[in-house]
Structure 1
Amino acid sequence: MLFLFKEFSMIQSMTGFGKASGTFSNKKITIEIRSLNSKNLDVFVRMPTVYKEKEIELRKYLGDQLDRGKIECNFVIESHGEEKSYSINKELAGRYYAEIVDLAGFLELNTDDVLNTILKMPDIIVSDVDEVNEEEWTFIMKLVKEAVDHHKNFRIHEGEALHQEFKTRIENIKAAFAQIPQYEKERIEDIKNRIESNLEEFVGGAKVDKNRFEQELIYYIEKIDIAEEKQRLAKHLDYFLEIMDQPISQGKKLGFISQEIGREINTLGSKSYHSEMQKLVVDMKDELEKIKEQVLNTL
């Protein structure tokens, strides 16, 4: 059975879940794939010992398909019918049972579902065969691919929510940023008046060289000019939106761009010297922090 998903879907979440089940011979086989965010690719596989020789092949396939994140793939095998190719490791099951009962007593929990829990623990179901049946492995890989497709669809759905979140936050930053120019003229006048007032207070107005004062003032105002920061910030915000709409999810690049956005916002704050501008900077920082939190979960 094939599952359709968008091959290119813009932003995707690193969080995902996919599951597929089927029956082969006298066994019901279920494959579950979960993922959480991670800077790199970390693949963990829980499978019966009989399949261990195929683990490298499976890990490579999962890595190629899911790209990044903490990936966990679980095999659940349930045998039925008269012919049994699997048995229960009773000794290990007994040890698991004792530990679970002891833990349940410590946490004051009930053990109603303890049997089902034990059956899902590693190495409880033991194969009575020494080698992998290639026909069975082909069937298992078909289930794995089906689970991966479900997993990708989950990531795409979560990515749509991330896309809207990022778009809203960037637009909020742009809205605050657009208000800064209205305070720039007032900001310069305030700085000029403050410096002039301080000079007159500590030096005396008659002793101030007006020409020298104007030259120093121009130099100082140039040092706190924010034209370049404004230009770079506007470009970074547009670039974030552009990368967000690329056909392939690029969470790492969005992370780098958000760092650059933060750098320009911080510089605006350090150069503003105006209460209303500083409030706008705080608003932009708040929106950016929310972006950074979600970028960590972006594929």
Structure 2
Amino acid sequence: MIYSMTGYGKSVLQLPTKKITIELKSLNSKNLDLNARMPAVYREKELVIRKQLANALVRGKVDFSIYMEVTGEDTSSKINKPVVEQYINQLKDVVDGNEIELLKMAVRFPDALNTVREEIDEEEWKVIQSEIDKAVSALRIYREDEGKVLELDFIKRIENIDTLLEKVIALDPERIEAVRERLLKGVEELKEKYDENRFEQELVYYIEKFDITEEKVRLKNHLNYFIESLNTQDSNGKKLGFIGQEIGREINTIGSKSNYAPMQQLVVQMKDELEKIKEQLLNVL
């Protein structure tokens, strides 16, 4: 089973005096790149949150946000009455106006409001932390669903490469014969006498340089190993990436040795399928 690094999770918690909304967004990244935004009151818990998310999400570019909306009468800001009254008295000496208009002006001045720093209620925090777990679970479900789509695409691409490899294997005897005939024709065009035994020896040596038997076997093994790794319990995008590199190495070697246009066309198609796999592997956890 594989997981995508793309995901989204959200959870909403209604407390007696506030509404807490938790959002998680995740994209692909080589490591865990976590960006956290939260109200100042919860900032002291940031390290705890980061550890909680790192253990659950492992990798990815993750945006974590806590939004707080006050819904009750409780507020951290209080009117500083003595200061506001002084502002109003001073304003009366400067302008004429009714009490309401002067009050509107006074509350805009510095120190008109006292902001009391909230302290985290630990019982409340436990509930919020549990809600973060719910958002993480929602994101993991999203990642799992995306992973299933990726897995189907990988299987399709690997099967396509395997089918093309079978065509390469079927074409190989024809390729060797074509190389042999091309070399023989070239020698005959020289219109010079030659030692046929020596020519056969040189021909065998030359053709051996173009032998792709080992590459075909290794490529087949790598394709099977890729599918086996997809079916393991843990998602390991890096491991699949390494296998993809080995697949590419064998395909490239077959292409460099083929020396035969029909086979090179099949190699180009295999490379195209592999490139699509590599692009998608960047998003696997």
Q: TM-score, normalised by structure 2?
A: 0.84
Quote the residue 1:251 is aligned against: 237
Counterpart residue number, 2:192 = 205
Is the contact made by 2:169 and 2:216 (CA closer than 8 Å) also made in structure 1? no
Query: 2:11 and 2:208 mapped to 1: Cα distance?
Result: 64
> Which residue pairs with 2:134 in the alignment?
146
Establish whether residue 60 from structure 1 lines up as the match of residue 46 from structure 2. no
Q: Call closer, same or farther: CA 1:143–1:128 in 2, change over 3 Å.
A: farther
State the partner residue of 1:82: 73
- Matched to 1:41, the amino acid is L
Q: CA deviation at 1:252?
A: 0.8
Q: Deviations over 1:176-201 (max 9, x none)?
A: 11111222122111111212222233
| Counterpart code for 2:72 | G
Provide the rounded CA distance (Å) in 2 between the counterparts of 1:234 and 1:63.
37
Between the aligned partners of 1:86 and 1:190, the Cα distance in structure 2 is 88
2:124 match:
136
CA drift of 1:274 comes to: 1.6
Question: In 2 relative to 1, CA 47–226 (structure 1 residues): closer, same or farther, beyond 3 Å?
Answer: same
Q: Which runs of structure 2 are paired with 1:274-285 in the superposition (5 Å)? A: 274-285=260-271
Tell me which residue corresponds to 1:298. Answer: 284
Report 1:159-238 matches (<5 A): 159-202=147-190, 204-206=191-193, 208-238=194-224
Deviations 1:102-131 (A, max 9, x none): xxxxxxxxxxxxxxxxxxxxxxxxx84243
How many Å separate the matches in 2 of 1:177 and 1:286?
13
The alpha-carbon distance between structure 1 residues 268 and 86, as it changes in their structure 2 partners (threshold 3 A), is farther
Q: Secondary structure at the match of 2:211?
A: coil
Partner of 2:61: 70
> Which residue is equivalent to 2:84?
none
* Residues 1:287 and 2:273 are matched in the alignment: yes
Q: What is the distance in 2 between the residues matched to 1:41 and 1:199?
A: 62
> Is contact 1:229–1:264 with CA below 8 Å preserved after alignment?
yes
Structure 1 residue runs without a partner (length 5+): 1-9, 88-126
Return the match for 2:39 from 48, 51, 55: 48
1:265 equivalent to 2:251? Answer: yes
d(CA) in 2 for partners of 1:25 and 1:220?
84
Over residues 147-178 of structure 1, what are the superposed CA-to-partner deviations in whole Å (9 max), with x where a residue is unaligned?
00101111111111111111111111111111
**Structure 1 position 86, deviation (Å):** 6.6
**Cα pair distance change 1:289/1:59, threshold 3 Å:** same
What residue identity is the alignment partner of 2:121? N
Distance 1:171 1:41, change over 3 A: same
Tell me if the contact between 2:19 and 2:70 (Cα under 8 Å) persists in the aligned partners.
yes
Structure 2 Cα separation of the partners of residues 148 and 17 of structure 1? 9
Q: Percent identity?
A: 53
The equivalent residue for 1:34 is: 25
The residue matched to 2:251 in structure 1 has which SS? helix
In 1: Cα distance, 2:15 partner to 2:77 partner? 13
Contact 1:269 1:278 in 2 (8 A): yes
* Equivalent pair of 2:76/2:118 in contact (CA under 8 Å): no
> Per the alignment, in what secondary structure is the counterpart of residue 180 of structure 1?
helix
Say which SS state the counterpart of residue 198 (structure 2) adopts: helix
SS in structure 2 of the partner of residue 284 of structure 1:
helix
Q: How large is the RMSD of aligned CA atoms in angstroms?
A: 1.7
> Matches of residues 81-160 of structure 1 in structure 2 within 5 Å?
81-85=72-76, 128-160=116-148
Separation in 1, partners of 2:205, 2:116: 84
